[in-house]
Structure 1
């Protein structure tokens, strides 16, 4: 039976190292930084890239003394290289499916409006139930986390829905509503619920662009096209809470943040937002063929217990 090629001929084989060099340059757009990332000399990196380009018969990068640019054909090459390296990574970890959950290192990305309010309880519980677990935490906004997940840089991400997750597997584990935060002497402070109309009249402060919580809050309140561009561009919910304490306005927070952000200060009131819920849903997101899914399912069970 013929194998599809002539065994007697020399075959120019593309190596995984060459692909990793090209991807490192794409990431840094800097040969010296890419070489340091790959733990090789700059000349070895350049030689490996030139070898790859010669074997493929295309120019992947344009480079001079000042800048590095990816060519149009280079973008297609690097897109396929990402997929190849990801498949290799999954192949190397195929045996993880047969290991006990959380018995090997994991990298977990979590959005900023979830991380501070779930991680302390989660990690404390894991110390008891899975003392040998080894989880690296990356806190980033949703777009960056999903990009890292698709590229194989992280194993899983905890995000808030709704959010587009095409090509990924979504495992929901929690639902929650939003609470409007004001000072105790505000005219709405002693209501059981607050309406979107009242929220709109209250000098609402939200997180800066890029945080999905801002979009979720505006969507729930139907204020997407009415919310002015604020001077304040806060990156953390705690900053907004401090602004409320300074009588600069009012804000919205998710239910999981209520205890940590408001219960410790008697000058604040948390009033439930009276709009159809749940206002957001939390989920773990993984790649479809991820080999360590059993660990993620175990993490979901631990999260549910700590949030109850």
Structure 2
């Protein structure tokens, strides 16, 4: 029987592939540089092949080393999944869960559901990372994240998804804007006024354009924002109109502004879907489904609101 390298040795190789430096790789593994270097040399001896080209200036993995580092990353992720699956068998959603969330969802959904989630799963240690969808998917596939809370649809490769809710888009404009006098806004009217959008890279931008069957144009691309809060301030300053998701409106993003909203007069539903995504084949699929069900339950609970907030919402609905 062949002598198999240990998971620790594979971890050293993955860390070296990610850091390209023996010292930084050792720090990431919480060992000394000599320990990591010896572990890599022992791995090469066991395999009978060179994995690293060592030079004075930099560390370069051989083609075989690059290939094995990618496979080792998957192996380490599967090993971690097995441990967490065993723990979840006795106590579901206990221990660490690394959740990636996009910025057009995180500040509007998580405050509503986290208190109930903590109460239902007190042993859950939730670590959050906020970033754009493409980068979150890269980190998920690399094993740095366990689960994503993103807007769907999104082409992300070998992922399984769970839809949680539909999030409608509404037109947001100043109260003195001509569109504010409409009961509903027609799609063709959006092409006749400056439409403010998030900058390229935000999936909400693509979902909003697709949902309203609009195509990017110089008029649409005249201004771009990095967040929904910035978009609202631009609309409040009279620079144009925008499309906002219901989730952000329900969270009070218009509070303190002169911005109002109108529904879209459209035959189809102008909306995005909010859901979870995880690596296909993970051992934790049942646990992630339970997490999604808990989020849906948390969203159904009525929010507490002050009389002032309620009044503002009804005025701008």
8 Å CA contact retained: 1:262, 1:270:
no
Q: After superposing the two structures, state which structure 1 stretch, 118-127 or 271-280, moved more.
A: 271-280
Structure 1 match to 2:212 = 221
Structure 2 match to 1:285 = 277
Superposed counterparts of 1:143-292, under 5 Å:
143-226=134-217, 230=221, 232-275=223-266, 276-277=268-269, 279-292=271-284
After TM superposition, the runs of 4+ consecutive aligned structure 1 residues lying more than 6 A away are none
Whether 2:290 is the aligned partner of 1:301: answer no
Mapped to 1, the partners of 2:90 and 2:37 lie a distance apart of 40
Mapped to 1, the partners of 2:238 and 2:222 lie a distance apart of 15
Deviation digits for residues 160-219 of structure 1 (CA, Å, limit 9, x no counterpart): 111124322211111121112111111101323223322233222222222111111122
**Number of residue pairs aligned between Structure 1 and Structure 2:** 299
In structure 2, relative to structure 1, the CA distance for the partners of 1:233 and 1:68 (3 Å cut) is farther
Structure 2 match to 1:136 = 127
Mapped to 2, the partners of 1:287 and 1:111 lie a distance apart of 17
Structure 1 match to 2:36 = 45
Question: Where does structure 1 lack aligned partners over 5 or more consecutive residues?
Answer: 6-10
- Deviation, 1:34, is 1.5
Structure 1 match to 2:23 = 32
Mapped to 1, the partners of 2:67 and 2:264 lie a distance apart of 47
- Deviation, 1:48, is 2.3
8 Å CA contact retained: 2:81, 2:284:
no
Mapped to 1, the partners of 2:39 and 2:223 lie a distance apart of 48
- Deviation, 1:282, is 1.2
Q: TM-score, normalised by structure 1?
A: 0.86
**2:42 aligned counterpart, secondary structure:** helix
Deviation digits for residues 139-171 of structure 1 (CA, Å, limit 9, x no counterpart): 122122222222322221111111124322211
8 Å CA contact retained: 1:97, 1:294:
no
8 Å CA contact retained: 1:142, 1:159:
yes
- Deviation, 1:243, is 1.6
Structure 2 match to 1:8 = none
**1:188 aligned counterpart, secondary structure:** helix
- Deviation, 1:123, is 0.9
8 Å CA contact retained: 1:262, 1:269:
no
Mapped to 2, the partners of 1:155 and 1:189 lie a distance apart of 43
Aligned match for 2:100, one of 109, 112, 127 = 109
Q: TM-score, normalised by structure 2?
A: 0.84
Question: Where does structure 2 lack aligned partners over 5 or more consecutive residues?
Answer: 301-317
8 Å CA contact retained: 2:195, 2:240:
yes
- Deviation, 1:247, is 2.1
